[in-house]
Chain A
């Protein structure tokens, strides 16, 4: 009110010159100061009341299930490697998978040569290339979560028996050997060992044929030997039948 009175002009002559009774015009510091100007307590209270309150969801985010890490877009190199891998595995009948442990280069070369002699091709594959196409490549379920960065794949293209023996006797102490996929069947380490101990295809075929043809061959030999042995056998058979029960009729002839 006092400031408004000081502004008023156009009064009578002796009212225009006017000194304020109190020095209200030079009061305190300016609005903009170098220092932090002291705030009225009411203003401080107002600022405290009107502070920002962040939204609080009903369920705190730490109680919600964690999002699985999103799949990255596959780039061209990974796709090329995967196609090569699929081709290599598709060609071969037997695939053995094992972990890759860092070995000196010359040891790796020696191992590859050794396996190559038994017609086993070794291929090193990165996990992200192999796991990406997971269920399409069947043997891959073996190495799901516990594998290190690389996995060595032996793709076997030769005969079953000698390759199995070679793998069983190979001198890799460090790399664990989870299993193999042979003819679309996944086998564990024991399974592979048992498979190696099986006789080969020709031998087993011969055995089956022999088992099946045992009875006809025996009959054939009986008939060829002569009637005496045959009649003796038949008499024996009739006596047994008569001994066991009278209800059964004696065979004719």
Chain B
């Protein structure tokens, strides 16, 4: 009903109107969609390389922070991405984003590591098998993908979550703020831990001869990693 001043008084209470988000500092690059990744790297000489599983183990030192985009997918475990994964990601993101107002950027290189397979049904021995396919190694804490543009986290999260679920390692969609919050919470957890005995302390001073049962890598990994797995609940 209208009040005497002519101002219409709403029935269910006043609306709290918020300002629309400000996208002034964000420029969308020329090719907003994800680049096509090759199955095989363009190498002059194909070479079989040793397995070197340590490229999966432990925390990532590269590509841990955002560069261009605002939202991304964070890997919470180690694993290998092969061409099938890349195609799935490229097509899903290409379908879900609007190229005029959003863009996506790879944070992992194209497959570079050769993986060999012996033919099925043969016994051990006879040398190393031929190259089967190529993969990219991803360590935990690395960003796989970045998405940005004139969009909010709520719009981007559904399809990023779908992509994250299909990856061979556990992954979550994150935004800049949520990543910072995650790191801050981890740090707070580490600081207000009431347990006087921490894995780090026990390993560093070799209490009770524990290093007999632990790996020398546990000095750096500090009990948060086991193989390719990242133990989120620890410390």
B-contacting residues of A (Cβ < 8 Å)?
30-34, 36-37, 39-40, 42-43, 46-47, 49-56, 72, 75, 77-78, 80-81, 84, 88, 102, 105, 108, 121, 123-126, 128-129, 149-150
Asked whether, in the complex, the Cβ of A53 is within 8 Å of the Cβ of B193, the reply is yes
A78 B14 Cβ-Cβ under 8 A: yes
B42 at the interface (CB under 8 A from A): no
Q: Check if B78 sits within 8 Å of A49, measured CB to CB.
A: no
B215 at the interface (CB under 8 A from A): yes
Which of A40, A51, A102 gathers most chain B CB within 10 Å?
A51
Binds A, one of B52-60, B63-71, B107-115, B172-180: B52-60
Q: Which residues of A contact B228 (CB under 8 A)?
A: 32-34
What are the residues of chain A within 8 A of B194 when measuring CB–CB?
Answer: 53-56
Main secondary structure of the interface of B (DSSP, over half): loop
Which of A31, A53, A72, A88: most chain B CB closer than 10 A?
A31
Nearest A residue to B225, CB-CB: A32
Flag if B4 contacts A121 (CB, 8 Å): yes
Cα distance, A39 to B223, chains bound together (Å): 12
- Contact present for A81 and B229 (CB under 8 Å): no
CA distance A42 to B217 in the complex (A): 17
Contact B213 A40 (CB under 8 A): yes
Residues of A within 8 A of B36 (CB): none
Partner of B14, one of A43, A49, A77, A88: A77
B203: nearest chain-A partner, CB-CB = A46
25 interchain pairs, CB-CB under 8 A: A30-B51, A30-B53, A32-B54, A32-B227, A33-B228, A34-B228, A36-B227, A42-B213, A43-B213, A46-B202, A46-B213, A46-B214, A47-B234, A50-B195, A50-B197, A52-B234, A52-B235, A56-B194, A80-B7, A81-B3, A81-B9, A121-B4, A124-B1, A125-B3, A126-B13
Chain A, residue nearest B198 (CB):
A50
B122 on interface, CB distance cutoff 8 Å: no
**Bound Cα distance from A150 to B213, whole angstroms:** 71
B→A interface (CB under 8 Å): 1, 3-5, 7, 9-14, 16-17, 51, 53-54, 56-57, 78, 189, 192-195, 197-199, 202, 210, 212-215, 217, 223, 226-229, 233-235
The residue from B11, B17, B51, B212 contacting A149, defined by CB atoms under 8 A apart:
B11
Q: Which 6 A-B pairs have the closest CB atoms?
A: A32-B53, A53-B194, A42-B213, A53-B195, A50-B199, A40-B213
- Cβ of B204 to closest chain A Cβ, rounded Å: 12
Given A32-B228, A37-B226, A50-B197, A84 contacting B5 (CB threshold 8 A): yes
Residues from chain B with a CB closer than 8 A to the CB of A56 are 194
Question: How near does chain B come to A112, taking the closest CB pair, in angstroms?
Answer: 9
B56 in contact with A149 (CB, 8 Å): no
Across the interface, which residues of B come within 8 angstroms of A121, CB to CB? 4
Q: Which of A34, A54, A84 sits near B7, CB closer than 8 Å? A: A84
Please pick, from B16, B57, B195, B212, the residue contacting A51 in the complex, using a CB distance under 8 A: B195
How far is the CB of A74 from the nearest CB of chain B, in Å? 10
B115 to A: closest C-beta gap in Å:
13
Structural contact, A32 and B197, CB atoms closer than 8 A: no
User: Do residues B9 and A33 form an inter-chain contact, with CB atoms below 8 A?
Assistant: no
Return chain B residues, CB-CB under 8 Å to A50. 195, 197-199, 202, 223, 235
Q: Evaluate contact between B57 and A47: CB separation under 8 angstroms.
A: no
Contact B193 A32 (CB under 8 A): no
State the Cβ distance, B227 to closest chain A Cβ, in Å.
Answer: 5
**A37 lies within 8 A of B3 (CB):** no
Asked if B213 contacts A31 (CB within 8 A), the reply is: no
Specify which chain A residues have a CB less than 8 angstroms from the CB of B214 in the assembled complex.
43, 46
User: Beyond A37-B227, A81-B9, A150-B9, is A88–B4 a contact (Cβ under 8 Å)?
Assistant: yes
CA distance A228 to B7 in the complex (A): 78
Contact of B13 among A31, A32, A80, A128 (CB under 8 A): A128
Q: What is the chain A residue whose CB lies nearest that of B233? A: A52
Q: A125 to B7, alpha carbons, bound, how many Å?
A: 11
Contact B197 A36 (CB under 8 A): no
Interface contact B56-A32, CB-CB below 8 Å: yes
A36 to B226, CA, bound (A): 8
State A83–B10 Cα separation when bound (angstroms).
Answer: 17
- Which residue on chain A has the smallest CB distance to residue B17? A75
Which residues in B have their C-beta under 8 angstroms from that of A108? 1
Chain B residues in 8 Å Cβ range of A84: 3, 5, 7
